[in-house]
Structure 1
């Protein structure tokens, strides 16, 4: 997006600004966090927000602000990794199904995708992590395994429509190989909806990571995550509500910012919207 178009999409601009804030927290957490997020101080447990601890302290005396800043690392790593793996797998299988059709399309679209869609994605991820054990790697693999179907169906539909276009048929008649048709003529023309889907998928990945961490199936302590912080705060909800508020606000803002960026990308990349808005 150019600067004038970003300014036109105010919500997208807000989303980008919030994402840059979270990215800065993730990259520069050791410099931004005022305390060690894993340092215990039982004499300072459950302190309310103050000048010494802006977000207060938890039940073990750990600084909530520092843990919230470090929690951005896990959420963004999971979001990027999950979407990358899901998109790669969905792009491969969806392209094969849409381009070749026939038995390939039947296996991918009828059997594989329907089998994965038969189970809720979060339930599949829970079962996968519970079987292999909680860790960052297993969490990413579980969420990617549960999320590739949406990309595959989107790619399949786009490829099926694009392969019938005149310029693709002309390239085929000139002797272009299947690989060249896919890489040079089809994939570059279906990247726009994939970008929008990826932005929305990152929001879903952040929310899913927080859910699994809340259930104790995410990254294990002492690594701070927003979902684990919410789980730790359950028993202190009424006497120390700030323990819930700050990590919950971080999750909500991160998810909302990805959705804002996704909406902005959709409007920016849709030529019909640009014509209506005079962009």
Structure 2
């Protein structure tokens, strides 16, 4: 008996080791494929630098105390120089320091919006696609279509204007208008997969709806959703900056990409740096995530081939 137990334990250990090796090989293969995609590598570098800058913003920023109600009119409206790389605003605050600190709220918004909206939209879409032709599918997709019929920015502005303007409510507004896109995407995929032979076979062999959804359909919807998530990260940050620009996002004196652009636009072209540098930061962030998204899409295309 003891020998049998030891043998079973050894088999379990061997299986665990082989699974670990398999996962490691998968990670190595994914990284190898991505490393051959130069634009994707550039995107990863950009996003990695942005994340590190956001995490260590207080340590990197030359003037970390300029993130709030700091005023020094003696240094107001100084152009880019050695002391102030991106110049100063009309309050004498260092633009570069405020940009680094604003990255935290920008990334936080992107992460939280997707963490909430993706699972909601994804699950609703998969369920509606599998139950196509039923009352459940009609209800889910008609509600989705109502949301999609309204321009996203208009819907976000309408929701944010009803709520108290702050970062949290801006996230809520963007989340409410973002989930339908994932519902529509996963619905399209799952409604086509339900006619596949392996799904029909699972049904004929007595597989329940939950088993078919989680084991047969859901794994095949992951790759396009992951690709969209990567691209959407940059778009959510840009949408958050838009709400901040019109005063419905993070409120001054806390820095955000949107309100910094809004504060400086009235001083163009004289003090161009106050607006241009935050705008360039947004472009770089969106570009980085888009490049990664293209790389992820190409990776899944190769894997499927």
1:86 matched to 2:114? The reply is no
Return structure 1 stretches of 4+ with deviation > 3 angstroms: 1-4
What TM-score, normalized to structure 2? 0.86
Structure 2 counterpart of 1:124: 155
Q: CA deviation at 1:5?
A: 2.1
Structure 2 counterpart of 1:25: 53
Q: 3-state SS of the aligned residue for 2:266?
A: helix
5+ unaligned residues in a row in structure 1: which ranges?
A: none
1:206-249: per-residue Cα shift (whole Å, max 9, x none)? 11011110000001122211111000001211111111121011
- Work out the CA distance in 2 between the residues paired with 1:147 and 1:64: 31
Structure 1 counterpart of 2:139: 107
Larger Rg: 2
1:106-146: per-residue Cα shift (whole Å, max 9, x none)? 1222x212211221111111111110111222111111111
2:280 to 231, 243, 249: 249
Structure 2 counterpart of 1:266: 297
- Work out the CA distance in 1 between the residues paired with 2:185 and 2:31: 29
5+ unaligned residues in a row in structure 2: which ranges?
A: 1-28
- Work out the CA distance in 2 between the residues paired with 1:173 and 1:134: 53
- Work out the CA distance in 1 between the residues paired with 2:271 and 2:245: 18
Q: CA deviation at 1:46?
A: 0.6
Structure 2 counterpart of 1:228: 259
Aligned CA-pair RMSD: 1.5
Question: Does the 8 Å contact 2:199/2:216 carry over to 1?
Answer: yes
Where do 1:72-221 residues align within 5 Å? 72-101=103-132, 102-109=134-141, 111-221=142-252
Aligned residues: 273
1:242-273: per-residue Cα shift (whole Å, max 9, x none)? 1112101100000111111111111111138x
- Work out the CA distance in 2 between the residues paired with 1:132 and 1:216: 12
Question: Does the 8 Å contact 2:148/2:181 carry over to 1?
Answer: no
Q: 3-state SS of the aligned residue for 2:171?
A: helix
Q: CA deviation at 1:147?
A: 1.2
Q: CA deviation at 1:2?
A: 3.6
- Work out the CA distance in 2 between the residues paired with 1:80 and 1:95: 22
1:35-84: per-residue Cα shift (whole Å, max 9, x none)? 12223212111111122111111011111011110111111111111122
Q: CA deviation at 1:171?
A: 2.1
